[in-house]
Amino acid sequence: MKQFRLVALPLVLLLSACAGAAPISTAPTPPRATPASSIPLASAPLNLKSLTAAPDDWHRLSADKDGVFGVGSDRAIAELLQGKAPARRIIVAVIDGGVDTAHTALKDNMWRNAKEMNNGKDDDGNGLVDDAFGWNYAGGSDLRSVNDETLEVTRLYASCRDMAAGKGTPKPDAATCNTLKTKYEEKRVELTGQLGQIENIIQTTAAVTSVLQRAIGQGPLTRARVEAYKADNPQAAQAREVWLQIEAAGLLGDEMDGAKKQISGQINVGLDLTYDSRTIVGDNILDYNQRVYGNRDVTGPDASHGTHVAGIIAAARGTGKVEGIAQHVQIMALRAVPNGDERDKDIANAIRYAADHGANIINMSFGKSYSPGKSAVDAAAKYAVSKGVLLVHAAGNDGEDIDVLPSFPSPIFEDKTRSLNWIEVGASSWKGLNDLSAPFSNYGKTRVDLFAPGVDILSTVPGGGTKKESGTSMAAPVVSGVAALLMSYFPSLSAADIKDILLQSARRVDAPVSKPGAGGKVPFNSLSQTGAIVDAYAAVKLAQSRSAVMKQ
């Protein structure tokens, strides 16, 4: 499932038509992660600014130079790489829900298959017609695409009951089926509750906006206008307080409309035991060796998530406030993640396509709780590693310890070995040391490698626009971007070298922070294997040192 933070609401304030009802707060939900080795890490005092809002470029800023705990990639480019030309262009495969290949900030940085003429023929002989930008494995040969999709728990439970959604899913034993029934019903209750929260937020926002609009006057409500307003009655005072808290939580604008659409889709389709999306795709879902199916539409019906991810990595630099971390990179678009749980077969084939077509890095900002086709995904991941590819995966947005409750895909294979070229990423925040770990982020002392900025990240969205989003889905492409930056300037370093450099140079934090999900205080270094935030500036320095030694 695409890992936006929209099901991990950090703060929900409900107001009964601004009639004096007390605000109600509810706890959040989060995503999943990877392990690493015990290694020495960078550590230095921090002097962070006190901020009331996230700077548009905060994830690229430097804790030391700018006082904002980003990754320092802009500083690395300006100070360490100034006057140096990248040695090669890096291809980053984005396996996601689709990418807007025509976005003005992305179109010049999209990967193009040089062997494909986009003429209705399979020019390169790989069996896929017109795979010019990548491929859509969640679609059919008639150019239709799967948009809303069932959840994996639905498919497994449907197989227990011999219903259509379970087609192609091996039937579990009776005991497992009883457990699945419970999990399926729990998921229904969870999603229904989230939808109720979202609808309440939408109603509350409309109510307080109406009160403030009458009091302040016409014109767009901005944080500055609302903060400056001096309320002269209790109703207006409460409306002001609630609006500011909703705005601070990032729940204004079309955020909630998008959340309502996604959660509604998961309820209406994700839990539908009778729905079989593969009638659209037209493949044999039981055949994991089948490679030729899908279509060339890498944008699909909803490319919001994948476009945002792609922009964090590779939006054109020097053209505006949204800039990618890496300068010399191309995005290969692989659509395999609809609104619901992705199919293991599609993920495995997308990984293999990326490895076969020259990807250096694969970004995977998705995850789920069950993986009946894990062996196929494991085999594909091993194949990618054999080709020298670095895999970067978002840990998930459930606020859970994934050492206890794993998320899939996972770097831990069925044979209990671990992928050497895999980085699992949790999400950090701009809100200071106390809130350094995002409240929604999954964590894990052995399975999560490190954290990266993942709260209020400004990036590209379909149609040429920009938007701030939160999630480990945003943190993973930050790491992919830093990895691409290193690969482009230091071509002698392997994917394994890049992973080792990122982990060794990451900024260690020993301070107590709010624990994701459950709350309370824990040492930040207990939440991941490194206990650190990725640091592009330190990583470039270490890469320079490693490369110099290799040349001797």
- Say if CB 345 and CB 376 are below 8 A apart: yes
Tell which wins on pLDDT, 273 or 118: 273
Q: Helix/strand/coil (H, E, C) string of 26-71?
A: CCCCCCCCCCCCCCCCECCCCCCCCCCCCCCCHHHCCCCCCCCCCC
Band of the pLDDT at 63, cuts 50, 70, 90? very high
Q: Does the structure show a pLDDT above 90 at 425?
A: yes
Q: Are 98 and 295 in contact (CB under 8 A)?
A: no
Rounded average pLDDT over 162-172: 92
Residue 462's pLDDT is what? Answer: 96
What gap in Å lies between CA 376 and CA 384, rounded to an integer? 12
pLDDT at position 20, please?
33
d(CA 171, CA 231): 62
DSSP-assigned letters across all residues of 128-171? -TT-SSEEESSB-TTS-B--B---HHHHHHHHHTT-GGGTTSPP
Residues 471 and 397: beta-carbon distance below 8 Å: yes
What whole-number percentage of the chain has pLDDT above 90?
80
Mean pLDDT of 192-199: 92
pLDDT digits (tens, 9 = 90+) for 98-128: 999 999 999 999 999 999 998 999 999 999 9
- Crossing angle of the two packed helices 174-216 and 234-248, in degrees rounded to 10: 130
pTM of the model: 0.90
pLDDT in tens, 323-336: 999 989 999 999 99
* Residue-level pLDDT at 21: 31
Reported as a pLDDT band with limits 50, 70 and 90, residue 45 is low
C-alpha span between 55 and 321 (Å, rounded):
10
Q: Is the pLDDT of residue 498 over 90?
A: yes
Find out whether 457 and 433 touch, Cβ atoms under 8 Å. Answer: no
- State yes or no: cis peptide before 411, omega within 30 of 0: no
41 — pLDDT class (breaks 50, 70, 90): very low
438 or 5, greater pLDDT: 438
Element (H, E) at 236: helix 234-248
Q: Is 5-35+90-551 a CATH 1.10.569.10 domain? A: no
Give me 462's structure tokens: 């379909």
pLDDT at 29: 32
Lowest-pLDDT range, 200-214, 236-250, 493-507?
A: 236-250
Q: Distance between alpha carbon 394 and the CA centroid of its chain, in Å?
A: 6
- Residue 114: what pLDDT? 94
pLDDT tens sequence across 365-424: 999 999 999 999 999 999 999 999 999 999 999 999 999 999 999 999 999 999 999 999
The whole-number average pLDDT for the span 461-490 is 96
Contacts of 278 (CB under 8 A, 6+ apart): 167, 168, 285
> pLDDT at residue 39 above 70?
no
- Total residue count of the chain as it appears in this document: 552
The sign of the dihedral angle between the CA atoms of 171, 175, 178, 180 is negative
Maximal CA-CA distance, the chain:
74
pLDDT at residue 548 tops 90: no
Q: How far apart are CA 115 and CA 175, in angstroms?
A: 51
According to the model, what pLDDT value does residue 209 have? 93
- Residue 120 DSSP label: S
Work out the average pLDDT over 230-234. 92
Question: Which pLDDT tens digit goes with each residue over 128-141?
Answer: 999 999 999 999 99
Amino acid making up residue 342 = E
280-285-291 Cα angle (round to 5): 90
Cβ distance 535 to 505 under 8 Å?
Answer: yes
Query: Does residue 96 surpass a pLDDT of 90?
Result: yes
What's the pLDDT score for residue 254? 74
Query: Percent of the chain, pLDDT > 70?
Result: 92
User: In 410-534, at which residue ranges do the beta strands (DSSP E only) sit?
Assistant: 422-428, 450-453, 457-461, 465-469, 507-508, 512-514, 521-523, 532-533
Average pLDDT, the chain: 90
Give me the helix-helix angle, 495-505 and 472-489, nearest 10°.
120
pLDDT at 40: 41
User: 17 pLDDT band (50/70/90 cuts)?
Assistant: very low
Domain ranges for the chain: 5-35+90-551
Helices 472-489 and 304-314 sit at what angle, rounded to 10 degrees? 30
User: Helix 472-489 vs helix 536-551: angle between axes, to the nearest 10 degrees?
Assistant: 30
Chain centroid to CA 147: how far?
18
DSSP state of 499: H
